[in-house]
Amino acid sequence: MAKIYVASSWRNGYQEEVVQFLTQQGHEVYDFKNPPHGNGGFAWSDIDKNWEKWNTNEFKEALRHPIAEKGFNSDFDGMKWADVCVMVLPCGRSANTEAGWMKGSGKSVYVFQPIKQEPELMYKIFDNIYDDLYHLNYAITTDKSLGRHCKTHFIMDAFKVRLVNEQFDLQEKISKLKPFIESENFKKVDDSQQKLLKEQVEVMDRYNNILVERLSLLGVN
């Protein structure tokens, strides 16, 4: 599977979910909040609790601090190690800088947007934008630039995506049919058609439950 650098913000609550999901799919994932050295992620407050009041010279000096050097080297090594960058929105300058560097280095960069964001024109340079983790994972596992090591789980991931889409479409159809059956307009329909529609919804309901159960067994909630 792929080696992934997840770029985001400390304040982004979706970052942990993305790291966990991609790890469960069999990928190796760099988590800047829990880097490999085991001492926790970098924070400016570890250098100075009043860091938000720095002027430009103080900021430049802090960049040379041993704690900053260690944090930078850890994250930059992770960026060089990874095949893919997943940038999780919303995020700030660091994550956008990381994603830009990785794209400029010839690596694949995908944007994950779990909630609506302000559009950004220059995201055209990235490979794609997703709001669904399974579609994101499918894109990564089928990314031809990553070579053969990502193809191991291709069939299973494609199967999961197909089931997710099938269940979503079926649920949407059921949610439209049921209110119609309970409406006054339904009473105007021929008796034989009423019977057929009711039977159809029952069959769709049963199959939908089967799909939900299968997805649960596959680890899709």
Q: Compute the average pLDDT of residues 57-62.
A: 96
Query: Are both 36 and 118 inside the same structural domain?
Result: yes
Which of 151, 178, 209 finishes a domain?
A: 151
Residue keyed to tokens 């039977």: 199
Residues 100 and 204 in one domain: no
170 and 69 together in one domain: no
Residue 67, pLDDT > 60, answer: yes
Q: Which residues span the domain enclosing 69? A: 3-151
Tally of domains in the chain: 2
Single out the residue in 118, 151, 184 at which a domain terminates: 151
CATH number of the domain to which 85 belongs: 3.40.50
Residue of 149 and 47 predicted with greater confidence = 47
Write down the pLDDT at residue 158.
66
Which pLDDT belongs to residue 152? 47
Which tens digit of pLDDT belongs to each residue from 97-116?
Answer: 999 999 999 999 999 999 99
Whether residue 47 is found in the same domain as residue 101 = yes
Residues 112 and 72 in one domain: yes
Residues 53 and 132 placed together within one structural domain of the fold: yes
Residues 39 and 65 reside in one and the same domain: yes
Domain co-membership, 88 together with 174: no
Q: Say whether both 124 and 42 belong to one domain.
A: yes
Instruction: Please state the rounded mean pLDDT for residues 203-212.
Output: 90
Q: What is the DSSP string of the chain?
A: --EEEEE--TT-TTHHHHHHHHHHTT-EEEETTS-TTSS----GGGT-TTGGG--HHHHHHHTTSHHHHHHHHHHHHHHHH-SEEEEESS--HHHHHHHHHHHHTT-EEEEE-SS-----GGGGGSSEEES-HHHHHHHHHT-GGG-GGG-TTHHHHHHHHHHHHHHHHHHHHHHHHHHHHTSTGGGGS-HHHHHHHHHHHHHHHHHHHHHHHHHHHTT--
Task: Report pLDDT digits (tens) over 146-182.
Answer: 764 454 455 556 677 778 888 888 998 999 899 999 9
Position 221 scores a pLDDT of 59
| Same domain for 173 and 130 | no
Please tell me whether residues 78 and 95 are part of one structural domain.
yes
- 29: pLDDT strictly greater than 50: yes
The pLDDT of residue 149 is: 47
User: What is the predicted pLDDT for the residue at 11?
Assistant: 92
Q: Are residues 139 and 195 in the same domain?
A: no
User: In the listed set 131, 151, 171, which residue is the last one of a domain according to the structure?
Assistant: 151
